[in-house]
Copies of this chain bind each other. A is one copy, B any other.
Amino acid sequence: MAKPLVSIIMGSDSDLTIMKAAADMLEEFEIPFELTVVSAHRTPLRMVQYAVQAADRGLKVIIVGAGGAAHLPGMIASLTILPVIGVPIKSANSIDGWDSILSILQMPGGVPVATVGLNGAKNAGILAGSILAAFDPIVSAHVAVYKKKLEQEVLQKVDSLKADGWGNGFDV
């Protein structure tokens, strides 16, 4: 099995429903990854170890999902030089996701977290792909294919709307 290049971690296994979308994208891009639970508040020492060892273990990007007062992405970022992608999760104890977003996004100068939209695990996976693509032509090809597919899906919807009797005049 290939050594993981990307790590997907989350504060609780209840976040897996959301975070699985990141894993799906990495699989589509054929990027080897690992996935586990690391809790900033319940296993803080495990979190420190995880972050401190990440670069040496060969990881290139860490994707971190968390909700509410979401400290995991920022703390991981403080403990590694790897790029950290934060996924704010609208978990059960979150106030419509605002707490999740603000406590991941608003990091102080010096310690960035690359934040994606609320529950945006899929985009976190794609972003990890883009980062690796800059240096890996195979991943790069996968990402390009994916973008093309996005476009094709829209064009099919255009056609199917026409078939349903909508639209007239514009043809691209």
B130 touches A41 (CB 8 A): no
A93's partner among B68, B108, B160 (CB-CB below 8 A) is B108
Give CA–CA (A130, B81) in the complex, Å. Answer: 6
Q: If the complex has contacts A126-B112, A151-B42, are A69 and B105 also in contact, measured as CB distance less than 8 A? A: yes
What chain B residues lie within 8 Å of A108 (beta carbons)? Answer: 11-12, 41-42, 68-69, 93
Q: Quickly give the copy total for this chain.
A: 8
- Residues in A lying within 8 Å of B, measured CB to CB: 1, 3-4, 7, 11-13, 16, 34-37, 39-46, 48-50, 53, 57, 60-61, 68-71, 74-75, 77-79, 81-85, 93-99, 101-120, 122-124, 126-127, 130-131, 133-135, 140, 143-144, 146-147, 150-151, 153-155, 157-158, 160-162, 166-170, 172
A111 touches B123 (CB 8 A): yes
Task: Across the interface, name the chain B residue whose C-beta is closest to A140.
Answer: B81
A105's partner among B40, B105, B131 (CB-CB below 8 A) is B105
